[in-house]
């Protein structure tokens, strides 16, 4: 069973009206309460049959079908954005996908067409129970016997059923807003005991915050990787997490891995935070995925420098701008194509030099409207615009002029370097004070002269406008 990569399909294909329930016609509506009332019977029946939480199933159907108004739902009774065909029946719809570089594009795909809402619910319930061919228990965290509450079941779907890091939170919000737990889960309550009088011990799981990313980012297995275990979920965040031993893989130190998600786990007792990555050992997005603690990987290093520069963007190049430096330990998500950056120039307030496998690349954080994004300088996609200076090696002595305090001291000539900083005039500075200089710079476009000076007894050297001297 295949699903759309964009979990909220309704944002892409929105129609009008609610599809038929159980194969009979019903009046179209966008009323959430009407949607709940009409789907209550098939949801409760199917969810209980497969030992899932009805409240979670109803919330999923509501979100992914836009409360039954998506074209896919009204035309095909498809409440979960499932691709392919059902008993040979399908419909063709426009949908959004992401390429290997994380770039959003639109395409047309076939989606399953169901005879009724109950058939759609059953198909999805079977997916949650049976998992995928490469991992039959991938959704086991949402099973009623493993999830002590509906919220635990909803959160267990984050990062596995949907890549949205807020998927579980969105489901819980719908459940709480419309009282779906009380209305649908019945005497199973929040424990999932199906009426049993046996009280289960309370288990407190760690919480993890997930960050989705473009799936072609890479790291290498560290020389400590065998000290850690591969899991199908972040360790300690849910019940029945499966382990995979390294002995089942042809692994080696320095082996390249592909990353598509980062998680920050918070220990429920100590509050300690640890970072985890979802890895695979093939560039194919369909390859089996594992969660690995950060120490099991050798990640690229990034050195950040605050500063200020005017950056010109080559919007004619292919590629994207990102929310983080691409392939940094944060991982990055593509936020849009370079061709959208059509302004003559942008202001950059941060520079990053990423080192990966000994190769360095420079990135700039630019301001686009009220947002800030990272863009690479690779192949002149982004190039800072600095003033041109002709430098001359020279030496001598000068005195501070009566206007010296109107000018700033810099670590570089103004507007010639990203890491530009200003300094206060040293104690004892006054008109006529002697300074030595060892270099001169002339900005040819402005015909201004600068000197690199040094004060007696001070090891620091400063650049200053020649008008501060006499």
Q: Report pLDDT digits (tens) over 25-55.
A: 333 446 899 899 999 999 999 999 999 999 9
Using CA atoms, how far apart are residues 97 and 215, in angstroms rounded to an integer? 13
pLDDT band for position 16 (cuts 50, 70, 90): very low
**In the predicted model, what is the mean pLDDT of residues 357-373?**
93
Does position 384 have pLDDT exceeding 60, yes or no?
Answer: yes
Using one digit for the tens of pLDDT, what is the confidence trace for 54-75?
999 999 999 999 999 999 999 9
Does position 308 have pLDDT exceeding 90, yes or no?
Answer: no
Using CA atoms, how far apart are residues 39 and 36, in angstroms rounded to an integer? 5
**In the predicted model, what is the mean pLDDT of residues 381-408?**
89
Does position 467 have pLDDT exceeding 60, yes or no?
Answer: yes
Task: Decide: 234 and 197 in contact? Cβ < 8 Å.
Answer: no
Using one digit for the tens of pLDDT, what is the confidence trace for 268-277?
889 999 999 9
Does position 450 have pLDDT exceeding 50, yes or no?
Answer: yes
Does position 301 have pLDDT exceeding 70, yes or no?
Answer: yes
Q: Are strands 243-244 and 320-322 parallel, antiparallel or unpaired?
A: unpaired
Among 250-254, 375-379, 380-384, name the one with the lowest average pLDDT.
Answer: 380-384
For tokens 């960050």, name the residue.
211
**In the predicted model, what is the mean pLDDT of residues 260-287?**
94
Check residue 194 and give its pLDDT.
38
Give the rounded percent of residues in the chain with a pLDDT score beyond 70: 87
Does position 319 have pLDDT exceeding 90, yes or no?
Answer: no
Is the dihedral angle over the CA atoms 46, 50, 54, 57 positive or is it negative?
negative
The residue ranking higher by pLDDT, 165 or 127, is 127
**In the predicted model, what is the mean pLDDT of residues 279-308?**
94
Check residue 389 and give its pLDDT.
87
Does position 376 have pLDDT exceeding 80, yes or no?
Answer: yes
* Spatial CB neighbours of 24, under 8 Å, sequence gap ≥ 6: none
pLDDT band for position 298 (cuts 50, 70, 90): very high
Among 34-38, 252-256, 315-319, name the one with the lowest average pLDDT.
Answer: 315-319
Among 14-28, 46-60, 169-183, name the one with the lowest average pLDDT.
Answer: 14-28
Using CA atoms, how far apart are residues 185 and 174, in angstroms rounded to an integer? 14
* Spatial CB neighbours of 39, under 8 Å, sequence gap ≥ 6: 21, 58, 61, 68, 117
CA 188 to chain CA centroid, Å, is 36
200: helix, strand or coil: coil
Q: What is the DSSP letter of 169?
A: H
pTM beyond 0.95: no
Task: Decide: 227 and 183 in contact? Cβ < 8 Å.
Answer: no
Check residue 23 and give its pLDDT.
36
């Amino acid at each position: 069973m295949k699903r759309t990569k964009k979990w909220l399909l309704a944002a892409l294909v929105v129609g009008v009206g609610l599809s038929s329930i159980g194969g009979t016609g019903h009046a179209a509506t966008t009323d959430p309460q009407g949607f709940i009332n009409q789907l209550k019977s098939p949801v409760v029946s199917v969810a209980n049959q497969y030992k899932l939480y009805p409240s979670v199933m109803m919330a999923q159907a509501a979100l992914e079908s836009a409360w039954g108004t998506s074209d896919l739902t009204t035309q095909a009774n498809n409440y979960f954005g499932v691709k392919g065909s059902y008993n040979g029946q399908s419909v063709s719809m426009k949908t959004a996908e992401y390429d290997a570089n994380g770039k959003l594009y639109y395409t047309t795909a076939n989606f399953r067409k169901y005879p009724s809402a109950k058939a759609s619910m059953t198909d999805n319930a079977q997916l949650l129970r049976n998992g995928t061919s490469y991992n039959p228990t991938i959704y086991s965290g949402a099973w009623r016997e493993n999830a002590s509450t509906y919220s635990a079941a909803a959160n267990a779907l984050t990062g596995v059923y949907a890549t949205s890091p807020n998927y579980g939170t969105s489901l819980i919000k719908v459940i709480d807003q419309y009282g779906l737990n009380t209305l649908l889960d019945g005497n199973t309550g929040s424990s999932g005991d199906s009426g049993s009088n046996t009280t289960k011990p309370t288990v407190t799981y760690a919480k993890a915050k997930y960050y989705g990313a473009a799936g072609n980012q890479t790291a290498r297995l560290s020389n400590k990787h065998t000290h850690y275990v591969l899991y199908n979920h972040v360790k300690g965040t849910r019940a029945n997490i499966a382990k995979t031993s390294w002995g089942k893989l042809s692994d080696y130190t320095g082996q390249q891995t592909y990353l598509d998600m980062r998680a920050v786990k918070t220990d429920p007792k100590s509050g300690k935070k640890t970072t985890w990555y979802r890895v695979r050992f093939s560039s194919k997005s369909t390859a089996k995925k594992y969660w690995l603690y950060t120490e099991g990987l050798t990640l690229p290093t990034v050195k950040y420098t605050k500063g200020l520069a005017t950056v010109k963007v080559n919007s004619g190049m292919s590629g994207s701008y990102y929310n983080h430096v691409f392939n940094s330990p944060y991982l990055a998500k593509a936020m849009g194509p370079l061709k959208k950056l059509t302004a003559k120039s942008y202001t950059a307030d941060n520079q990053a030099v990423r080192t990966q496998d000994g190769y360095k690349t420079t990135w700039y954080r630019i301001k686009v409207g009220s947002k800030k994004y990272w863009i690479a300088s690779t192949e002149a996609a982004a190039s800072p615009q600095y003033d041109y200076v002709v430098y001359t090696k020279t030496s001598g002595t000068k005195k501070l002029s009566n206007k010296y305090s109107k000018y700033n001291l810099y670590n570089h000539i103004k507007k010639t370097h990203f890491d530009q900083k200003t300094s206060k005039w040293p104690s004892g500075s006054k008109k006529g004070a002697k300074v030595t200089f060892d270099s001169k710079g002339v900005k040819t476009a402005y015909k201004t002269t600068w000197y690199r000076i040094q004060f007696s007894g001070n090891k620091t050297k400063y650049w200053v406008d020649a008008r501060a001297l006499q």
